[in-house]
């Protein structure tokens, strides 16, 4: 059984009197421990796809199963609980809480857990160490560089040891050198066993992933692969990445 | 890291906005505390003055019959089986449950005597009690201090054609006129006042009383209860409240209180509005932050707790500040509002806890919708990055 199974996924938005089809019925599977990039031009539906996979956006049609659980069949706040325990998010603008220190930002997902305070600090410290940011725990986000903020965001996403790490354009706001460092970091995390699903518009980032899902107009158009040419011509049948 | 850390850190970060909100709420609470404290202090003073201003309970001998008089014209009456009040029984009044509410007990004995060839009504009183009861009395001269002295009502003095220093004879005894009452417009104008024991001796009613006027402080005790308590102690007497007097006083005080409550209601409404608008603004500023909380797995209830905890902290702080400022304001305003400089400020623990509770309740209630709104924000809309 694949870690993520997507079947006939569709998402529509109302835009005034018009209906916009952001996703038009896509199918794919993602295995445990893989590093998958999702590529597409602006308006292709890649951010919508990530939000649906992450349990943040109810699809108009279709199912998303993660570890055998139908995500959107979960009742009420169980979906929030599932996100808390199973998924980690790295946002494009890092979205660190400005009035919390680096350590407190990393501990944020643990604020609703029943762990003891010292255990929370230990877990957060370990997460920061894994992303190479030891020694700057007490700094506020505005005292950190872009790369450091990115590392804090990744550590926050990792602190609960999620099954899947979702990242939305994590290098979008970074300079090329720092972006490179971040991609190496994601690769290293994946090498250590972390499943990573990353949205990116930078073709160079695809070189770090196992496979790339190409989206165009809400449909998957090519399997892609690490360093392989992209095929935008034909929709792909359900496949495993 | 717990949810309350998020709340406290946010309050620390947004110091200016939270200070504005706290001060705004505190001003509202202070206004209410000042209004209520001034009302209570002045009411208490007014009540005391009103209660001390004349009797509001009358004790007369029990009698089986009806008085036949109307508009001051007595047409006689049939009475039988009349029991008199014994002076020694009056000490029982001080043993009632609400004895602390009794300001003055003024016994009287009355009877007709002949003075300078005229029939006059002689009344024996305890002058210290009588003067306490009848604060509207204005005397030319002074009240009698010895047995051989008397006080005349203005009409009595005119009718007897005497002045202060003159002497009069009652049943062979000489009495010196030490004082004459300024016209009161009441029946006191036609009376001749001597000390109680003297009148009892002259009228042959030693140890007996015709009526007792009582000034009861109604504050904190319904006058009906006091009437029943006194009646229980004096079963041979008729005890009644002078209803008109009581109700008139209560009505005036009631109107005063209603006004202050109405003003407090206006202030509460404005305070709620300030809190609501500021908290909604705060939630709108934190849309992205709330989106992050939801994305990482915070439940709606967690979001609400964060917002409401911030509101609770502000409410408590504003309550404390507001109460202090309110009492300070009342203390400064009271000498200007009350006639007497000796009016005491009312320190009421109910007002203290009430103002804290009100501030907390207001802050929470006014923040309820903003908290609900925040908890229902769509994470993807909130973040706009996903």
Question: What is the Cα–Cα distance from B42 to B201, expressed in whole angstroms?
Answer: 44
**Chain A residues with at least one Cβ partner in B under 8 Å:** 47, 50-51, 54, 56-57, 77, 80-85, 87-89, 91-93, 95, 97-100, 104, 107-112, 117, 120, 124, 156-157, 168-169
Q: What is the pLDDT of residue B186?
A: 85
For residue B238, give the H/E element and its range: strand B237-241
B256 pLDDT higher than 80: no
Nearest CA among A69, A39, A38, A34 for reference residue A55: A69
Mean pLDDT of B331-360: 79
Q: What is the pLDDT of residue B79?
A: 46
If you average pLDDT over each of B181-190, B231-240, B298-307, B327-336, which comes out highest? B298-307
Q: Which of B289, B302, B385 is closest, CB to CB, to A112?
A: B302
Torsion, Cα B237 B243 B249 B253, to 10 degrees, reads 110
Question: Over pLDDT 70: what percentage of chain B?
Answer: 84
Mean pLDDT of B167-181: 93
Question: What is the Cα–Cα distance from B211 to A110, expressed in whole angstroms?
Answer: 81
Q: Which residues of B touch A56 (CB under 8 A)?
A: 294-295, 379-380, 386
* Residue with token string 């903020």: A149
Nearest CA among A148, A84, A123, A110 for reference residue B6: A110
- The pair phi, psi for residue A50, each rounded to 5°, is -65, -40
* CA-based nearest distance B363→chain A, Å: 23
Q: Would the CB atoms of A99 and B386 count as touching at under 8 Å?
A: no
Question: What is the Cα–Cα distance from A161 to A153, expressed in whole angstroms?
Answer: 14
B332 pLDDT higher than 80: yes
A126 or B336, which is more confident? A126
B371 pLDDT higher than 90: yes
Q: What is the pLDDT of residue B77?
A: 47
Q: With a CB-CB cutoff of 8 Å, which residues 1-20 of chain B face chain A?
A: 1-3, 5-6, 9-10, 12-13
Size of interface A-B (CB pairs under 8 A): 93
Q: Which residues of A touch B292 (CB under 8 A)?
A: 91, 95, 97, 108
Question: What is the Cα–Cα distance from B27 to A200, expressed in whole angstroms?
Answer: 53
What residues of chain A score a pLDDT lower than 70? 222-241
Question: What is the Cα–Cα distance from B346 to B358, expressed in whole angstroms?
Answer: 19
With 0-12 / 13-18 / 19 or more C-beta atoms within 10 angstroms meaning exposed / middle / buried, residue B91 is: exposed
Mean pLDDT of B306-333: 92
Are residues B359 and B29 in contact, defined by beta-carbon separation less than 8 angstroms?
A: yes
B126 pLDDT higher than 50: yes
What is the predicted ipTM? 0.87
User: So where are chain A's domains?
Assistant: 4-98+154-222
Question: Over pLDDT 90: what percentage of chain B?
Answer: 38
Q: What is the pLDDT of residue A239?
A: 44
B323 pLDDT higher than 90: yes
Q: Which of A51, A110, A124 is closest, CB to CB, to B386?
A: A51
Q: What is the pLDDT of residue B56?
A: 79
Q: Which residues of A touch B291 (CB under 8 A)?
A: 95
Taking the whole predicted model, whether its pTM rises above 0.80 is answered as no
The three-point CA angle B285-B290-B292 to 5° equals 125
Band of pLDDT at residue B66, cut at 50, 70 and 90: low
Question: What is the Cα–Cα distance from B219 to B346, expressed in whole angstroms?
Answer: 13
Substitution target in A15, A56, A74, A86 with the highest count of B β-carbons within 10 Å is A56
CATH of domain A4-98+154-222: 3.40.50.300
Number of H helices and E strands in chain A, helices first, is 6, 10
Q: What is the pLDDT of residue A72?
A: 93
Substitution target in A99, A110, A153, A201 with the highest count of B β-carbons within 10 Å is A99
The answer to whether B299 contacts chain A (CB < 8 Å) is: yes
Q: What is the pLDDT of residue A240?
A: 41
B259 or B53, which is more confident? B259
Question: What is the Cα–Cα distance from A138 to A100, expressed in whole angstroms?
Answer: 9
Q: What is the pLDDT of residue A87?
A: 93
Q: What are the structure tokens assigned to A64, written together?
A: 């998303």
B70 or A93, which is more confident? A93
Nearest CA among B288, B106, B84 for reference residue B195: B106
Q: What is the pLDDT of residue B70?
A: 52
Nearest-CA residue of chain A relative to B298? A80
Q: Which residues of A touch B296 (CB under 8 A)?
A: 83-84, 88-89, 108-109, 156-157
Q: Which of A77, A95, A112 is closest, CB to CB, to B292?
A: A95
Q: Which residues of A touch B11 (CB under 8 A)?
A: none
For residue B60, give the H/E element and its range: strand B57-61
Q: Would the CB atoms of A51 and B10 count as touching at under 8 Å?
A: no
Q: What is the pLDDT of residue A233?
A: 29
Question: What is the Cα–Cα distance from B101 to B219, expressed in whole angstroms?
Answer: 8
Q: Which residues of A touch B380 (CB under 8 A)?
A: 51, 56-57
User: So where are chain B's domains?
Assistant: 3-48+251-383, 56-241
Question: What is the Cα–Cα distance from B94 to B98, expressed in whole angstroms?
Answer: 9
Q: Which of A56, A77, A100 is closest, CB to CB, to B9?
A: A100
What does DSSP assign to residue A229? P
Q: What is the pLDDT of residue B44?
A: 67
Bridge partners of B70? B73
Mean pLDDT of B303-320: 94
Q: Which residues of A touch B297 (CB under 8 A)?
A: 80-85, 87, 109, 112
DSSP state string for B278-295: HHHHHHHHTHHHHHHHHH
Q: Regarding beta strands A164-168 and A87-90, do their DSSP bridges make them parallel or antiparallel, or are they unpaired?
A: parallel
Q: Which of B9, B13, B298 is closest, CB to CB, to A80?
A: B298
* CA-based nearest distance A52→chain B, Å: 9
Signed CA dihedral, A142, A147, A149, A152: sign only: negative
């Amino acid at each position: 059984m694949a870690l993520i199974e997507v079947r006939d996924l569709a998402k529509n938005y109302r835009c005034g009197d018009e209906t916009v089809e952001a996703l038009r019925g896509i199918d794919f599977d993602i295995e445990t421990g893989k590093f998958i990039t999702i590529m597409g031009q602006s308006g292709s539906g890649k951010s919508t796809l990530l939000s649906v996979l992450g349990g943040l956006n109810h699809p108009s049609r279709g199912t998303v199963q993660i570890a055998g659980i139908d995500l959107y069949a979960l009742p009420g706040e169980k979906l929030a609980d599932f996100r808390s325990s199973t998924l980690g998010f790295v946002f494009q603008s890092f979205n660190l809480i400005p009035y919390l220190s680096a350590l407190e930002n990393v501990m944020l997902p643990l604020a609703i857990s029943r762990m003891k305070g010292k255990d929370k600090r230990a877990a957060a410290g370990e997460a920061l160490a894994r992303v190479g940011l030891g020694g700057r725990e007490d700094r506020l986000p505005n005292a950190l560089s872009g790369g450091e903020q990115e590392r804090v965001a990744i550590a926050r996403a990792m602190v609960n040891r999620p099954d899947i790490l979702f990242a939305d354009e994590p290098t979008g706001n970074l300079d090329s050198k720092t972006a490179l460092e971040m991609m190496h970091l994601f690769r290293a995390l994946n090498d250590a066993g972390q499943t990573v699903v990353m949205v990116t518009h930078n073709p160079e980032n695809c070189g770090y992933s196992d496979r790339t899902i190409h989206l165009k107009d809400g449909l998957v158009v090519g399997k892609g692969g690490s360093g392989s040419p992209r095929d935008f011509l034909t929709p792909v049948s359900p496949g495993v990445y | 890291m717990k949810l309350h850390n998020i709340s406290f850190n946010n309050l620390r970060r947004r110091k200016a906005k939270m200070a504005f909100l706290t001060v705004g709420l505190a001003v509202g609470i202070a206004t209410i505390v000042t209004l209520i404290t001034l009302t209570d202090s002045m009411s208490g003073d007014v009540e005391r003055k009103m209660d001390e201003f004349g009797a509001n309970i009358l004790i007369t001998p029990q009698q089986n019959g009806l008085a036949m008089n109307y508009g001051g014209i007595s047409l006689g009456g049939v009475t039988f089986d009349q029991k008199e009040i014994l002076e020694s029984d009056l000490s029982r009044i001080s043993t009632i449950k609400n004895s602390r509410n009794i300001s003055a007990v003024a016994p009287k004995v009355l009877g007709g005597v002949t003075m300078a060839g005229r029939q006059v009504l002689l009344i024996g009183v305890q002058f210290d009690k009588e003067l306490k009861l009848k604060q509207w009395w204005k005397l030319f001269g002074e009240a009698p201090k010895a047995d051989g002295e008397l006080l005349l009502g203005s009409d009595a003095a005119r009718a007897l054609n005497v002045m202060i220093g003159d002497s009069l004879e009652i049943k062979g005894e000489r009495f010196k006129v030490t004082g004459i009452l300024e016209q009161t417009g009441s029946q006191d104008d036609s009376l001749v006042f001597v000390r109680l024991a003297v009148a009892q001796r002259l009228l042959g009613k030693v140890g007996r009383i015709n009526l007792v006027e009582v000034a009861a402080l109604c504050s904190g005790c319904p006058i009906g209860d006091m009437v029943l308590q006194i009646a229980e102690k004096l079963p041979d007497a008729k005890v009644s409240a002078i209803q008109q007097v009581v109700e008139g006083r209560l009505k005036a005080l009631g109107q005063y209180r209603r006004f202050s409550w109405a003003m407090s209601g206006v202030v509460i409404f404005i305070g709620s509005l300030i809190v609501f608008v500021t908290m909604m603004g705060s939630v709108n500023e934190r849309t992205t932050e709330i989106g992050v909380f939801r994305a990482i797995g915070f439940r709606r209830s967690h979001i609400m707790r964060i917002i409401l905890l911030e509101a609770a902290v502000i409410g408590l702080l504003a309550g404390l500040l507001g109460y202090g400022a309110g009492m300070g304001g009342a203390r400064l305003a009271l000498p200007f509002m009350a006639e007497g400089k000796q009016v005491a400020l009312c320190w009421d623990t109910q007002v203290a806890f009430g103002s804290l509770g009100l501030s907390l309740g207001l802050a929470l209630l006014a923040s309820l919708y903003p908290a609900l709104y925040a908890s229902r924000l769509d994470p993807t809309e909130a973040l706009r990055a996903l």
